[in-house]
Structure 1
Amino acid sequence: MTPGAQHPNEPAAQPLRSDAERNRERIIAAARTVFARDGLSASMASVSREAGVGIATMFRRFPTKAELVDAVFADRMGAYADAVATALDDPDPWNGFVGYIETACAMQAVDSGFADVLTMVFPTAKTLEERRNQAYEGMVQLIGRAKATGRLREDFDASDLVLLHMANAGVVNATGDAAPDAWRRVVALLIQSLEAPARGVLPDPAGHEALYKAMLRAGQAGSTAPAPGKSG
C-alpha cells in the first residue's frame, strides 16, 4: 500500500472503535438472553445470530467462550458473592445459611446460564473466578458458624455446596417452563436434610479436588467452540 493510500483510512479509525464497542455490547446482551434461555450449552453461533453480527465479528470480540462467559456473568457472580455477605451478616448463622441456599438456587432458577456457571469452572475468566473464590471463602466461614449453633449437621462439607448447585441446576434445566417451581421443593427437601440432628450417616464427601476436576471438565466442555473458518 502506498503512503498516500494510508491517509484516507486514518479518520475512520475512531468510528471503527465505536462500532466495535457497540458490537461488543450487542453480543453481551444477546448472550445474556441466549444463555439464560438455553444454558451454557448454547453455541457461539446462536449468540451471534441473536446479536445480529457475523460469527467472525463474534470471535474478534470474544475469541473464546470463556471470555464471553466472564463478560456476561461476572456481575451475577458478584451478586452471588453479595448473597454470601448478606448471609454472614445474619445474627442467626443457620438462618443466614438457609437464606443463602434459597437465594443462590433462585438465581439459578431464573437463569439457566447461571445455573450452569455455578457447576463449572473457567480458569481464564479471571473476574468471575475471583468473585466465586470470594463467595466460597465466605461460605466456609458461614458453615462453621452454622455448625457451632448446632443447627447444621456436623458431617456437612463445604464441597457439598457444589453438589447442591449441581442438583438444582439439573432440576432447573430438566423442568424448564413445564414445572418452573419444582426446584423449590427440591431445595426445601435438601435444607431439611441438612438440619441437625442428623438422621443417618452420610457417605464420605467427594472432596474439593475431585469436584474441581468435574467442574473444570464441565467448563471446558461448555466452552468448546470451533473458530470461524472464514470472516463474516
Structure 2
Amino acid sequence: MTGRLSHPSRSDARDNRARILDAARTVFGEKGLGAPMREVARHAGIGPATLYRHFPTKQALVLETFAAQRRACHAAIRDALADSDSWHGFRSLIERICELHAHSRGFADAFMTAFPEAVDFAADRERTVHAVAELARRAQETGQLHSGFVVDDLVLMLMAHRCVQDAPPAARLAASRRFAAYVIKAFRAEPATEAPAPLPPAPRLQHPQ
C-alpha cells in the first residue's frame, strides 16, 4: 500500500516543481528579479511553504528558472568562437545575447549583476566578456571592427539595451533587433564603398491616439 501511495506523491511534486518554474519564468521575466518569491508562489497556485520545499533560496530558483537561457548563452559563445568569419561571429554573438535579454527582464537582471547572489551568472558574464574580447581582436585584425572598440563598449551597449524591457511586450524583440543592428553598424569599420546593410523593421512602440 505504501509503495502505491508514494507514486502520486512524486507525481504531485514533479507537477508542483514544473508549475513553480513556469510561474518564475513569467514573473521574473516580466518584473525582473526584484519580484518576491510569494508572487511566484501565488502565480503557480501553491503556498509559499511548497515553493520553499522545492527551492529553499531565491538563488536556487533563479538558477533553475534560467537554465535554458544559460545554455543558449554558452552555445552562442561556442558558435561565435568557432565561426571562420570573425566579424560574423562577433556580430552574431551580440545579436543572440540581445535577443536572450529581450525575452526576459529577469535573465537580463541576473546577467547584468542586478542579482549579486547569482554567482553562476557572474561566471557566464566573464565567459561572455572573454569571448567578445577574443572575437574583437580577430575582427580588428581583419579591419572589419572599429579599431577603437573595447570590451567596455559591450557592457555599455547591454546597459542601454535593458531599456528595451520598457517597450510593450509584443514589440520588445523587434526593438531589440533594431537596437542591435544600430549598435553593430556603429561598431563596424565599414569601407566607404560598401552599401550599408538594411536595418530590421522598426517596432510600433506607441499606440495611435
Task: Quickly name the TM-score band, shorter chain normalised.
Answer: 0.7 to 0.9
Aligned pair partner of 2:82 in 89, 107, 121:
89
Aligned pair partner of 2:143 in 126, 144, 150:
150
* Matched-pair contact (CA < 8 Å) for 2:109–2:115: no
* Matched-pair contact (CA < 8 Å) for 1:118–1:162: no
Instruction: Kindly indicate whether residue 56 of structure 2 is the aligned counterpart of residue 74 of structure 1.
Output: no
Counterparts of 1:17 and 1:123, CA distance in 2: 33
* Matched-pair contact (CA < 8 Å) for 1:94–1:146: yes
Identify the residue that residue 99 of structure 1 maps to in structure 2: 92
Q: CA RMSD in A?
A: 2.9
> How many Å apart are 1:105 and its aligned residue?
0.9
State TM-score, norm by structure 2.
0.75
State TM-score, norm by structure 1.
0.69
Instruction: Kindly indicate whether residue 132 of structure 2 is the aligned counterpart of residue 108 of structure 1.
Output: no
Which of 15-24 and 83-92 deviates more? 15-24
Counterparts of 1:56 and 1:145, CA distance in 2: 52
Which of 63-72 and 35-44 deviates more? 35-44
**Aligned residue-pair number:** 189
Identify the residue that residue 193 of structure 2 maps to in structure 1: none
What 5-or-longer segments of structure 1 have no aligned partner? 1-8, 198-232
Identify the residue that residue 168 of structure 2 maps to in structure 1: 176
Counterparts of 1:192 and 1:23, CA distance in 2: 46
Counterparts of 1:26 and 1:14, CA distance in 2: 18
Identify the residue that residue 219 of structure 1 maps to in structure 2: none
Structure 1 residues 1-232: aligned runs within 5 Å? 19-120=12-113, 122=115, 124-170=117-163, 172-177=164-169, 179-180=171-172, 181-196=174-189
Counterparts of 2:14 and 2:171, CA distance in 1: 39
Identity of aligned residues (%): 42
Deviation string, structure 1 residues 105-162 (Cα, Å, up to 9, x no partner): 1122222322323312656545444444333332221121112112212222223222
Identify the residue that residue 202 of structure 2 maps to in structure 1: none
- Give the greater-gyration-radius structure (CA): 1
Counterparts of 2:78 and 2:33, CA distance in 1: 27
Q: For the structure 1 residues 115 and 176, does the alpha-carbon distance in structure 2 shift closer, same or farther, using more than 3 Å as the test?
A: farther
Identify the residue that residue 196 of structure 2 maps to in structure 1: none
AA aligned opposite 2:63: D
What 5-or-longer segments of structure 2 have no aligned partner? 191-209
Counterparts of 2:11 and 2:152, CA distance in 1: 44
Structure of greater relative contact order (alpha carbons < 8 Å, 6+ residues apart): 1
> How many Å apart are 1:62 and its aligned residue?
2.3
> How many Å apart are 1:26 and its aligned residue?
2.3
Counterparts of 2:105 and 2:73, CA distance in 1: 15
Counterparts of 2:171 and 2:117, CA distance in 1: 35
Identify the residue that residue 225 of structure 1 maps to in structure 2: none
AA aligned opposite 2:166: A
* Matched-pair contact (CA < 8 Å) for 1:94–1:151: yes
Deviation string, structure 1 residues 76-132 (Cα, Å, up to 9, x no partner): 112112111111122111111111111111122222322323312656545444444
